[in-house]
Amino acid sequence: MTSPTATSPIPPAGSTGRAVLLVHGFTGSPVSLEPWAEDLRRRGFAVSLPLLPGHGTAWQDLVSARWPSWSAAVLHAYDELQRNHDRVYVGALSMGGTLALELATHRRPAALALVNPALSFGDRRARSAGLLRHVVKSTPAIANDIARPGQDEGAYPRTPVAGVAQLGALMKHVRRRLPLVVSPIATFTSDTDHIVPPSDSGVIHARVGTPAEDRRATRLPESYHVATLDYDAETIFAESAEFFGRY
């Protein structure tokens, strides 16, 4: 299989059965989810890994991106899978988890598996991005928060402040709509995360409309934020596949 690049999303494969939509994070790319995609394919799932608007090119392209375009891209990819597969699941990392939750307020995925999903900023300065974007165009990258050496998630070298403001607006929107989410949900949360507060996963479990018996929470003691490329990656792969298999 040819390795995906930031500008070449992994296409879906197969026309029937089970499929998984994987959604990458803010300033990131499909590279961060490639090992997860490969594992799911080995287990018999078709996989789609779309590239979000404003990502995978140059960080300046994210300056003008708006969060509804990210949400629309995820919704489109989900609907494409649903046309040809009996069940469609969603796996996601970081802001991808936020977008997966937003998707689940409009559609009914068979199940969700969210890795360090974001509902708030770990850095308090990011909360002022809506004002700062007028005077500061970009900041150093929020990328490669990975404990395991030698890993690279393929994120931008700079973080556009306007993009951070859009992320904040998305998270605020999704927090209000969490009770509308009723799909089975599994969260995978790193004990040490320098980007997203681990408590965000608890907020999700407390507020979604998913029945208690269809919620699962897994701790990742050895990984940082980009856990799909970190020491606990195999736990994510195995447990998410098992969770999907329940539904």
For 53-102, the pLDDT digits (tens) are: 999 999 999 988 999 999 999 999 999 999 999 999 999 999 999 999 99
Q: Which of 71, 94, 138, 190 is catalytic?
A: 94
Q: Which of 24, 225, 230, 232 is catalytic?
A: 225
Tell me the pLDDT tens digit for each residue of 179-221. 999 999 999 999 999 999 999 999 999 999 999 999 999 999 9
* Spatial contact of 49 and 9, defined as CB atoms under 8 Å apart: yes
Cβ neighbours for 35, distance < 8 A, ≥ 6 positions apart: 228, 229, 233, 237
Q: Average pLDDT over the chain, rounded to whole?
A: 89
CB atoms within 10 A of CB 109: 25
pLDDT for residue 50: 96
Query: What is the C-alpha to C-alpha distance for residues 191 and 189, in angstroms, rounded to an integer?
Result: 6
Kindly list the structural domains of the chain, giving each domain's residue range(s) and its CATH number in brackets, ordered by start: 18-245 (3.40.50.1820)
Could you confirm whether 123 is annotated as catalytic? no
Q: What is the DSSP letter of 4?
A: P
Could you confirm whether 76 is annotated as catalytic? no
Query: What is the C-alpha to C-alpha distance for residues 167 and 94, in angstroms, rounded to an integer?
Result: 11
State both tokens at 63. 């300056």
Q: What is the DSSP letter of 232?
A: T
* Spatial contact of 53 and 26, defined as CB atoms under 8 Å apart: no
Q: Which of 32, 39, 138, 193 is catalytic?
A: 193
Tell me the pLDDT tens digit for each residue of 108-122. 999 999 999 999 985
pLDDT for residue 122: 59
Long-range Cβ contact pairs of 128-132 (< 8 A, separation 24 or more): 129/161, 129/162, 129/164, 129/165, 129/168, 130/165, 130/168, 132/161
Angle between helices 34-42 and 233-245 (to 10 degrees): 40
